[in-house]
Chains A and B, each alone.
Chain A
Amino acid sequence: VIRRPGHLADAEPPTAVPADVPGLDLERAATIVRASGGSAERFRHAFAAGQAHLPPDTATDRLVALAGVAGWRAGVLGLRADAFGHLADLPRTAASAALGLAESDLDAFLERQRTDRFWWPGRTAQRGYVCAVGGFAGLGGAWTAPPTETRPLDDEGSFAVLTGQRWWRVDADVWGSRLVPLEGEPSAVGGGAGRAASLLTFAESYLAWVHVAERA
């Protein structure tokens, strides 16, 4: 089996399609989600899942908040803080459905996420692995040489990785990741001291894995 980049929390394929909402252009939102590094299909799926738990006459503001949560769930890293602010505005059933969590896991998820952006209920079962980034360019990935060296960067959830002669910046959280080529070797490094999350590479693999050392 060829491993491809992706998040282990995204095991369920996105299939649901939301109902039209007068006054909200959900296709435009899906396009922006894709342009911002997320998955348009997963955005539609997450929005539809949350929408199913809201009454038909739900106010537009609340549906916009749901779209923000769905966008974060679909992998848009920039929506993380905004989604956190809006989760309390949504009914628990809608919020947990949009995130793809059991309602009983929602409180634990929100609590753990405050200090660990990579946590979700299934992580322990995955032995701490969260997501794979990069991949071989010939198979639709980003890199033409395997990653060989990684280091944490100052921002939370960010790493630098060297593939061939090029350095890349990786930003990630539990739902999404982003890769950006860097002009040169990153200089200011050292913010990762004491962090549990790290970016792992493996010989002869074009993937780099975000891994969090679980507490015993």
Chain B
Amino acid sequence: MADRWHKLSQSPTTSGPGDGVAPMSAADLFRPAPEAAAVPLDEKLRQTYYWIVNRAVISPYYDVEFSSGAPLAFSLGDAGAELTLPSEPSFSSNVLLPLLSFAVGGRCLLIGGPGRGKTTVAVLMGVLSGSTPEDVRRGVQQGQPQLTISDLVGIPLPRDLMNASSLAEVGVAWRDWLSRPVKIVDEYNRIPTKTQSALLTMVAEGYVESHDQMRRTAPAAGVESWFFTANDDAGGGTFPVIQALRDRMDVTVPAAGFNSRFLDELITRVEAGEKPEEHVPAELVFAPDEQTAMRAAIRAVPVPTEVRRRLEFFLSHFEFVQGGGRRFEYRTKDTVTTAGGRVAEAIEANSGADLMADLGSQTLNGLSVRALQTLIVYAKAVAWFRGRDAVSLADVAAMVPFVLRGKLLPNPTHPRFDVGVERELSTDTMSWLSDIFAESCRQYDALGRGTQDPVRDLLTQVEAGLDGVSAVEASRRLTAIEARLRAASATGKLYGRDFDDLTALKYLHQRYTAYLRWAEGRA
């Protein structure tokens, strides 16, 4: 009987734009299949993706969409529902994001109700890293209220405890899962707070400590990925997840429900008693050096200037809040939060700006540097996965909801979540995050920032260096900076997107005044 599991994509899983038809000969029709090692790593990862969605996980959801031009859209029902048909290969997030996390060595939180295949996907990632299905399953850490640090990391050897005269002499029997390339923690919101802190050290620092002994958790090849599961990410579970650990989740992926039209396949599996992780084709397993090479290739994908500018603009919206402080630099959401204040109230008190146009007013916090770094890495990963030479805006847009979920928090008192047709966004965080990124890009275009960006021009001038800049030229640039500030002052309104520009102008002013003082002193 044919092995129904062992079927890989025979043809390339993505096609690049070609120049013409390459000539072939009749002998080419009988060429043997290329060796598995000859398959480029990105093609291998795509083959892995298609194997998982076609064979292993029943997931007919294509929510990570890519289209050239506007996709074909159908309005459905009477509540504004719309189904779109993307024109380019699109993907299932609950398979793609874990796979990208495996590729970049990231930390993926899978959320959703019980029985939605979260652990199955995580176990598949473990098998892809070269471990046997039994080892991976044995290594899954089951979160439960009695889980101690010793349960998690290992115990000191009783013999040493009896004989040692100092902690340094106590050997620790470390748990085997600690050095696996793929680590899985099930129901992490049921783990006691103290044990969560030990987990945080492992996740954040890559080592674990017990009885003055330390053990690195990264495998020899250096690439380790973490998969956590939880039934929700809104504070449910036996213990609240400590914020620092929650922040370490690079991406949050909701598990999809089961599509009833695929019941036949489910019945076939029940009858055969088969588990997908026991049937992963050997060709799809990534050796340690392949994982290292894959991560290096992903990091090398360039981010073009146009994409950087839009990302920079998007980031600029969220830190500022008009009534957050008195001194200009302290008018931030962080100032309010660290003082125990309520950001929503500070936003509401701002009567000067249009709350619908000010994207920053929709969030309770700003974006952290860590979140931004993660967004860049995952945008590179999806561009590489799609066979692209550089990161496009579509790649960034596709990753925004998964990276920023749980990191960019919605302001529930904003009018957008309160009234009208968009109330569903108060529960659909993913769509809201996609929407604010799209809106940021629309504002970028409307403001003509792609063609006219005076603050960027001034920054470029200073990045070129001040060597040889005359005192007269420095004074001229100072005047230009003050003119920009005067123009901003004249508008009477202040948005989050202006905050970074204005602080950057102050920085430039400091650089030029210091230089001018030095130049005049030397003269």
Binding site for B on A (CB under 8 A): 24-25, 28-29, 31-36, 64-65, 67-69, 71, 76-79, 81-83, 86, 137-138, 144-145, 155, 158, 164-166, 169, 171, 178, 180-183
- Most chain A beta carbons < 10 A, residue from B10, B20, B29, B85: B29
Report A-chain residues with C-beta under 8 Å of the C-beta of B23: 78, 81-82
B25: interface (CB < 8 Å): yes
Q: Are A67 and B26 in contact (CB under 8 A)?
A: yes
For B195-219 the 0/1 string (1 means CB < 8 A from A) is: 0000000000000000000000000
Q: Are A180 and B10 in contact (CB under 8 A)?
A: no
Q: Which residues of A contact B146 (CB under 8 A)?
A: none
Known A-B contacts A25-B30, A86-B26, A137-B87; A31 and B69 likewise in contact (beta carbons under 8 Å): no
Known pairs A137-B85, A169-B18, A182-B17; A164 contacts B26 (CB<8 A): no
Contact B26 A35 (CB under 8 A): no
| CB atoms of A155 and B20 under 8 A apart | yes
Could you tell me the distance in whole angstroms from the C-beta of A103 to the nearest C-beta in chain B? 22
Output the nearest chain A residue to B87 by Cβ-Cβ distance: A144
Q: Which of B12, B21, B70 has the most chain A CB atoms inside 10 A of its CB?
A: B21
Interface residues of B in 5-31 (CB under 8 A from A): 10-12, 15, 17-18, 20-31
Q: A29-B30, A144-B85 are in contact. Are A180 and B24 (CB under 8 A)?
A: no
Please report the C-alpha to C-alpha distance between residue A178 and residue B24 in the assembled complex, in whole angstroms.
Answer: 15
Q: Are B33 and A28 in contact (CB under 8 A)?
A: yes
Instruction: List the interface of chain B (C-beta within 8 A of A).
Output: 10-12, 15, 17-18, 20-33, 68-72, 85, 87-88
| Contact (Cβ within 8 A) A145 B18 | no
Partner of B30, one of A28, A86, A165, A166: A28
The answer to whether B26 touches A32, judged by C-beta atoms less than 8 angstroms apart, is: no
Neighbouring A residues of B32 by C-beta, 8 Å: 28
Taking a contact as CB atoms closer than 8 A, the residue among A25, A69, A78, A165 that contacts B24 in the complex is A78
With both beta carbons as reference points, the residue of chain B lying nearest to A184 in the complex is identified as: B17
The reply to whether A82 and B25 form a contact with Cβ atoms under 8 Å apart is: yes
CA–CA, A188 to B88, complex, Å?
25
Residue from A78, A81, A86 having most chain B Cβ neighbours under 10 A: A78
Report the minimal beta-carbon distance from B206 to chain A, rounded to whole angstroms: 41
The 8 closest A-B pairs by CB, nearest first: A68-B26, A165-B69, A78-B24, A29-B29, A35-B11, A144-B72, A164-B69, A77-B21
Minimum CB distance partner of B67 in chain A: A144
Q: By the criterion CB–CB under 8 Å, are A166 and B87 in contact? A: yes
Docked Cα-Cα span, A31 to B10, in Å, equals 8
User: A32 touching B69 by the CB < 8 A rule?
Assistant: no
**Bound CA–CA A171/B18 (angstroms):** 11
Tell me the minimal C-beta distance from B509 to chain A in angstroms.
42
Given contacts A36-B24, A166-B68, contact A68 B29 (CB under 8 A): yes
Are A144 and B71 CB-contacts (below 8 A) given A86-B26, A158-B20, A178-B21? Answer: yes
Please give the distance in Å from B311's CB to the nearest CB on chain A: 22
Question: Which residues on the A side are within 8 Å of B12 (C-beta)?
Answer: 35
- Whether B11 lies near A34 (C-beta < 8 A) is yes
